[in-house]
Amino acid sequence: MDLLAGLNEPQREAVLHVSGPLLIFAGAGSGKTRTLTHRVANLILHHRVPAGRILAVTFTNKAAREMRERLNQLVGAEANRIWMGTFHAMCAQMLRIHGHLIGLDPRFVIFDTDDSTRLMKEILRDADIDSDRYPAPRMLARISDAKNNLQSPDDLQSVAGSPYHRVVARVFKMYQERLKAAHALDFDDLLGEAVRLVTESEWAREHWSERFLHVMIDEFQDVNQAQLAWAKALASKHRNICVVGDDDQSIYKWRGADVKIILDFEKQYSDAHIIRLEQNYRSTQNILDAAHGVISNNFGRKAKRLWTQTQGGERIVLNGAANAQEEAAWVVRQIELLQREQHLKLSDFAILCRVNAQSRPFEEAFMRARVPLKLVGTQRFYDRKEIKDLVSYLKVLYNPNDNIALGRIINVPARGIGATTIEKLGMIARESGLSLRDVILNCGQEVLGRAINMKLEPLRRILITLQTDAENARSVVELLDKVLDRTNYYEFLRGDRTGNGNDRVANVEEFMSAASVFDSRMQDEDFGFSDESRDPESPMEGPPYLGLFLESSALESGTESGATGEDATVLMTLHSAKGLEFPIVFMPGMEQGLLPHSRALWGEQSGPDELEEERRLCYVGLTRAQQRIYLSYATQRTLHGRTESTQPSQFIDELPPQLIDRSGFARVGASSVSSYATTWESSGSSSSSRSAFAPAAAPRSSEPPRYRVGERLKHPTFGEGVVVNASPSGGAGEWVEVAFLSQDAGKKKLAVAFAPLEKVE
């Protein structure tokens, strides 16, 4: 097989590279997946690298499945022996095998976001912490940030400089204690504990770094510090680490990604070989030039420019609307017109929004026009109540210490066990050090009281019977059948008074199908647990395959709502669109405060890094398009119940003017877009590093600055503060650094043109 056929020169270079560190900058639409799969095939077929000694890490299950399917076509069944999957899936497998070396129960369960939120709410209630001031999602976000940076509760406590941060550290410690008591790990723990495994256990580090001759990491621009530490440890012996990514598409800072990691790869590996994939196979040159016009304004990037053999192309259409409803109606009209003129399918069109809240006007407009619209990224399959109920039953059977799972199904279907009873059972469990299951099964009338004891009797019988079923079941499907039968769950769903009973039954049947597919795969694949990798001393016990099924369910990205296979226009967020492509793309909401988002302009964490991430998000949206792009904005928009006047996005002004069709622009009274170019003087970016990554900043304005050092200002969110640093000139790029009096706010760097600041006399 000629693995180099049809590849361009940089792609061939990447495929033929075998030894030592390799960094591949793979631009949007540059044939990255084909390059990676051919590189792996070359290692297996021409260099006799055993497939089981290759680790290939992706960021989504979909990407892993696609890569494995392509490799099956290239190398056959050997592809099934490659360790391939997401960071979380690979770390979970390692911890199942060797987690006992650092004190982990190999039968741990994985808490998803919903489980973690339930646990955090329980902690806040028990600790009498104000959940309005310290909401569970925000606490979990702070804890996730700490875990991504490999910080422990003690680490957080040692640097807590305010009452707020001391509460976060305290809650973090309680959260970890309860996870441990439940024999559970959350998603971030999978990474952190895998790092701890290869850090604290010399045997494990030697074993895994010896096992993997080649380590490949996809989407490297989106890794965090924990993922970097794990990958470096596994590649420490053979140093054959290949990382692939595009710093211009790093859009996940909000969940811990650090774009500096890919930019600094050459500092980690001074002998790294660098390859740039810049030939684009997706978009027209006009689209690529427009995207470059935007992204070239970022300072923190490596110099590169996409090109294609498809020269020219349609100009980017820009439209102004009076409000969101008019904007949505315009989009529908354009789709109907293009569909008729060019005989396109509705599925050829995608509407990419900055936030989900933009969807309502489009849903209404498409419904009025009787044009099918599919929303992507709404409720996921595994987030549906009936699926979470069944998964919780399986979790309790697999891990009796999982109080969160048992708390979810203790009264599902209804058994007359109310919230007060459940709270009392939880209190007894915490005070006695027992699991919730032990309290239900073993504490009698003298502890619980006669009334509660009688209510619990039917649940006791079900739990005991199902535990026996679990020990005897030969497959996940067989065990699920028992759960459905013992609990009369189908009858419970059919009695749904909302009228959704049949749909919920269909979801359960789909879940049964997923379990059946899993059972079949377990007969055909070793899931990475080949004889050479399994530790014979690892205490892997329990119902057959149940732990792996629960793990795959927890890590599955989920199925978006909406009919599959139908001819419908797709609406999704820009974040959800990453990795996809569409013939024609609409990007509504091109406004200051939406794209770029208000958080990047005047939020708590506003600053140059946040603005650059918003610019990368705009770049991702533009590079999804194959043939045409339509940009639009509204001069007035209602979001979250508030109607406000808006201004066109500063990113519009960064597009090359000769590529823009502004035919719909003047209709709302704007003959041109004001310049919003912002010059940031970031203390973290030296002038030398800027010149290496981007062109020089725009000339400074001659206007005098609005605020000066020493002046007192007031912000509606952060309160009063004092200007400690300011730009030397005014205009659109003026900024101020304010030390706010509130300890929670601290210092903030704000763009004067957008931040709602007032002078305090």
Label the pairing between strands 582-587 and 625-634: parallel
3-state secondary structure of 564: coil
Q: Give φ, ψ of 104 to 5 degrees.
A: -90, 140
Has 624 been annotated as catalytic? yes
Catalytic site residue from 219, 258, 609, 610: 219
Catalytic site residue from 218, 258, 609, 612: 218
Q: HSE of 430 in the Cβ direction (CA atoms, 13 Å)?
A: 14
Candidates 731, 671, 723; CA nearest to 697 is 731
Region class of 391: left (phi > 0), else alpha (psi between -120 and 50), else beta: alpha
Catalytic site residue from 282, 315, 354, 624: 624
C-alpha 152/C-alpha 156 separation (Å) is 6
Candidates 152, 233, 148, 151; CA nearest to 191 is 148
Catalytic site residue from 32, 196, 482, 504: 32
Q: Alpha helices of 582-712 — where are they, by DSSP H?
A: 598-602, 608-622, 650-653, 687-693
Has 11 been annotated as catalytic? no
Beta bridge mates, 713: 721, 759
Candidates 558, 576, 554, 575; CA nearest to 190 is 554
Q: Where are the beta strands (DSSP E) in 94-177?
A: 109-111
- Tell whether the torsion through CA atoms of 41, 47, 51 and 57 is positive or negative: negative
Has 345 been annotated as catalytic? no
Candidates 554, 649, 536, 550; CA nearest to 596 is 649
C-alpha 304/C-alpha 301 separation (Å) is 9
Burial level of 247, CB count in 10 A (0-12/13-18/19+)? buried
Candidates 65, 149, 595; CA nearest to 354 is 595
Cβ neighbours for 547, distance < 8 A, ≥ 6 positions apart: 96, 106, 107, 398, 540
Label the pairing between strands 747-751 and 735-740: antiparallel
Candidates 190, 172, 325, 171; CA nearest to 638 is 325
Q: Which residue has the tokens 């039954």?
A: 505
671 CB neighbour count, 10 Å cutoff = 7
- Tell whether the torsion through CA atoms of 666, 668, 672 and 678 is positive or negative: negative
* The two three-digit tokens of residue 176, written as one number: 């970890």
DSSP state of 610: H
C-alpha 457/C-alpha 673 separation (Å) is 70
C-alpha 624/C-alpha 580 separation (Å) is 6
Cβ neighbours for 399, distance < 8 A, ≥ 6 positions apart: 105, 107, 108, 109, 182, 183, 184, 405
- Tell whether the torsion through CA atoms of 213, 219, 220 and 226 is positive or negative: negative
- Tell whether the torsion through CA atoms of 47, 51, 55 and 57 is positive or negative: positive
Catalytic site residue from 11, 37, 221, 249: 249
Beta bridge mates, 371: none
Has 255 been annotated as catalytic? no
Has 714 been annotated as catalytic? no
Candidates 177, 157, 150; CA nearest to 258 is 150
Alpha-carbon torsion angle 534, 147, 261, 289, nearest 10: 110
Has 748 been annotated as catalytic? no
C-alpha 437/C-alpha 429 separation (Å) is 9
3-state secondary structure of 229: helix
CA 454 to chain centre: 45
Tell me the residue type at 566.
E
C-alpha 651/C-alpha 620 separation (Å) is 13
CB 487 within 8 A of CB 389: no
CB 407 within 8 A of CB 426: yes
C-alpha 357/C-alpha 370 separation (Å) is 21
Catalytic site residue from 12, 13, 33, 199: 33
Catalytic residue annotation = 32-33, 218-219, 249, 624
